[in-house]
Each structure stands twice: as C-alpha cells, then as structure tokens.
Structure 1
Amino acid sequence: MHLISPVRPEEAMQRLLAALEPIADKLQVIPRKRMTWTYKGRPQLYFFIEGELSILRASDGLLIVTVYEAHLFGIAEMIQPTKGHILRTEAESTLLRIDAERAAELISRQGLWEEVAAVLSYHTAYLFYRDALVVQQRTYSVIRNHLLEMITLPEQTRMRISILDYIQDRTLLSRSSVLNVISALKRGGYINFKRGGYLQELKSLPESF
C-alpha cells in the first residue's frame, strides 16, 4: 500500500513567514552548501523560501527529507537543541535567517505558538511517515515506496538526480540491491528511465516482487 505523507500546515507557515520576515536576513545560497543551527555563536531559525533544501542526519549524512516549498526549520533546535541534523541546499536557494531569541520573543508577542505547534506536529508526523518507508520493510518495499514518492517530484528535479542516488541518499540499501530491483522492474515493463537512471514513468507497481 502506498504511504501518504502528512499534510503541510500551509496557513500556519504563511502566518509565521509574515511575522518573521521583517526581522530576518535574506540569503542567496549556492548549491550543496551546508548550514548549521548557529551563526556567530547564536542559535538561528531558517525559513526556506525558494529552491531545493534537504535535511541531513549529522552523524552519517543520511538524507531525511528534501523540500521545495516555503518551510520553517530550527524551531525544535531552538527549544531543545540536539544538533542532530544539518541543512544542505541542493540547488540555488533563497532563505531567511532569523535569530532564534528574537524569533521567540516575536512569536510570544504576536501569539503565534499555535502556529509553531502546527509546524512541529507536521515535522513529527513526517518522521513517523519516513520511518514507515524504511524501517523493518523488505528491500523491495523500501524501493517501491521511494519510487512512488519520486514520481511525484517535478520533472526537472527527477532529471537531476538518478533513481539510484535518490534511494541511496535516503536509505542504507546497497547499490547492488537497488540496481537489482530497478533492473527487474524495467524488464517487467513497470518503469521507464533515461540513460543514467533518471526516472521518466511508473506504471502500476506490484505490491511484492
């Protein structure tokens, strides 16, 4: 069964953006730039505006999620710093950097903690969703779930990252495991991809293979 990702809290995100933008520094960030949660020794929030941004697990670089729409990061680190994750731009991106202490004061003053809770709840739900994609699943199920996720991406994004790279960045599966399944799906007529492994089309994928 295809897993359904949680729904983004669009209205809460927009209210937070409207409140935080006036106190933010606007950044144009080059591709593959890594950012941590502090700037000049002070905790920061980052509001992603445009481009492509990933969250990586700091311990091993495992890719947790890539976002393409406006999104606020750093709230959890502001409240309970763990430094377990880092940010990385995948394409040229526009971000707002906001001092966390100033942000917390503004959020309290404008009564926006309900919006903050909505964003944190979404992040928690997404982590459960991601675990369902990869934890205690058979190799084929993990690959199938990621293919179904990948086909929903914009075509220009799919033409920039191969199926193999997309899945290996997000899982601990070996190169041979992924390629064996992809090759079998190709032979079965379930999948089409360009030279280099760039996903073009998915037909109805079997539940098991």
Structure 2
Amino acid sequence: MTKYIKPFFTANPELESMKPTADIERLMMHLNPELNNIKTYNDQIINYNTNKVRQCFLLHKGSVSLYRMVDGMVLNTESAPYVFGMSTQLTHADYLYIRVHDAAEISMLSIDRANEIIEEHNLWKNLAYLLIYTATRVYDHCTKISALTSYDVIRYQIYELMSETESVRRSVTIAKYVQDRTFLSRSSIMKILAELKKGDYIVTDKGMLVYINHIPLKY
C-alpha cells in the first residue's frame, strides 16, 4: 500500500495530533460524577436542548459529527474523548445538532451545572485549551471550503475522510461525506471522483474510501 500523504493546504497538517486530550480527560473526570448516560444508536440525532434545558455532552467512546440545522452541513467531526456544548452555549439551541456515527458512548449534564463544576475545580485553563482546539478545527474546515476550486475542496475532503476512524470511513461514501460538508453539487463531486479513480489516485469499495495513492495538486 502506498504511504498515506497528509493534507496539502493547511498551515498545520498535524492539527488532529494537537488535540488537548489530557485537558479534555481532566474536564471529563470532574464532570463525570453527575452525568446521565444516553443510549445511542447509529445515525441518532442529539439536540442540545432536553426538556428546555441546555446540555453539555461528553463523548466517551466512538465518534460523532456536529451539524448545522438550517442546511445539514457538517461543521466538525470528533472522536472520543471530547466535550460538546461548551463552545456553543451562547448560540441558539436549535442552530446545531449532533449525529452519532457508530456505537458511541455519550453522557450529558446541564450547561449550567458544567460551568459550576468548572468554577469549583478551577478548570478554566483546561476548558480554554478545549475551546482553542474546537475553534481551530471549525476555522480550519471553513477556510478549506471557501475561495477554492471544486477540485481543491474535494481533494481536501478526501484527505479529511482518510484521517477519520475506520468505522466512519466504512459507514459513508466519499460523495456523501464531501456533499455533507460543502456546497458542491453531487454531479460535480461524482465527476471528479470518477477521474481520480480512473487515474488510480484513490481506491474505493462501493463508493467508500479504501486508501489514497496520491492526489495531484491540480486537476
């Protein structure tokens, strides 16, 4: 198998490796005693409001995606461990939702109580690192889907898909993954994917990404 090539147009191709795991785990350790577990299933949608109470979600196992409600666009995908809700508590509760990808383990508590626990245990530094990472991930995604050619956007998204967990790659076709995260039409996506497969730049199975040989910079 040809060695996996990292994304090309990012100032920091190692962004995922800079995830502040220790800070996230410390937050989760203190939040954990007051959590309520959620029974999850594949493709489950989780809203930030439960009985009109804004919630914070802890991802203990698996992976989920953050969607924008108005158009269903994916803004971020994260694997455990992770804490959702702290960076979006000032947005409208119906603006975003979470979709479960696989056998995820998720628990929740109210945002208000989460903020109280963070105050009680002086976890602001840990929270700051989580928020910086979250903002960087979303900003990185947004800069890669704007002011670029369709080919650039698709190329980036294929590399993003390759960096996802195996369970995510096996659950979604390349075309759907790209379409969920961009404003590109399915026809334009399929046209470019067909050319990439024809040139043996990518290997697929039933539309799902198996591996990348090499995707040229220009189309």
The 2-side partners of 1:185 and 1:65 are apart by 25
Question: Is contact 1:28–1:92 with CA below 8 Å preserved after alignment?
Answer: no
**Secondary structure, in 3 states, of the residue corresponding to 1:75?**
coil
The reply to whether residue 10 of structure 1 matches residue 21 of structure 2 is yes
For structure 1, which runs of at least 5 residues remain unmatched after alignment? none
Q: Deviations over 1:148-195 (max 9, x none)?
A: 11122333432221111111111111111111111111121211111x
Aligned residues: 207
Question: Is contact 2:65–2:101 with CA below 8 Å preserved after alignment?
Answer: yes
Counterpart in the other structure of 2:211: 201
Q: Deviations over 1:80-139 (max 9, x none)?
A: 232321111122321111122221111101000111111111111112100122011100
Question: Is contact 1:26–1:96 with CA below 8 Å preserved after alignment?
Answer: yes
Select between 137-146 and 179-188 the one with higher mean Cα deviation: 179-188
The 2-side partners of 1:99 and 1:12 are apart by 20
Among residues 38, 45, 62, which one is paired with 1:34 in the alignment?
A: 45
Counterpart in the other structure of 1:187: 198
For structure 2, which runs of at least 5 residues remain unmatched after alignment? 1-7
The 2-side partners of 1:62 and 1:46 are apart by 20
Counterpart in the other structure of 2:5: none
Question: Is contact 2:87–2:134 with CA below 8 Å preserved after alignment?
Answer: no
Question: Is contact 2:55–2:108 with CA below 8 Å preserved after alignment?
Answer: yes
Counterpart in the other structure of 2:3: none
The reply to whether residue 153 of structure 1 matches residue 178 of structure 2 is no
Could you list the structure 1 runs, at least 4 aligned residues long, displaced by more than 4 angstroms after superposition. Answer: none
Query: Aligned AA for 1:63?
Result: V
The reply to whether residue 24 of structure 1 matches residue 35 of structure 2 is yes
The 2-side partners of 1:153 and 1:26 are apart by 25
Select between 13-22 and 36-45 the one with higher mean Cα deviation: 36-45
Among residues 79, 83, 87, which one is paired with 1:68 in the alignment?
A: 79
Among residues 129, 137, 142, which one is paired with 1:126 in the alignment?
A: 137
Structure 1 residues 155, 116: CA separation in 2 closer, same or farther (over 3 Å shift)?
closer
Among residues 133, 136, 139, which one is paired with 2:150 in the alignment?
A: 139
Structure 1 residues 157, 37: CA separation in 2 closer, same or farther (over 3 Å shift)?
closer
The 1-side partners of 2:164 and 2:45 are apart by 22
Select between 88-97 and 172-181 the one with higher mean Cα deviation: 88-97
Counterpart in the other structure of 1:173: 184
Query: Aligned AA for 1:138?
Result: T
Question: Is contact 1:37–1:77 with CA below 8 Å preserved after alignment?
Answer: no
**Secondary structure, in 3 states, of the residue corresponding to 2:129?**
helix
The 2-side partners of 1:160 and 1:77 are apart by 27
**TM-score between the two structures when normalised by the length of structure 2:** 0.89
**TM-score between the two structures when normalised by the length of structure 1:** 0.93
Structure 1 residues 97, 178: CA separation in 2 closer, same or farther (over 3 Å shift)?
same
Q: Pairwise CA RMSD of aligned residues?
A: 1.5
The 2-side partners of 1:13 and 1:101 are apart by 18
Query: Aligned AA for 2:214?
Result: S
Question: Is contact 2:76–2:138 with CA below 8 Å preserved after alignment?
Answer: no
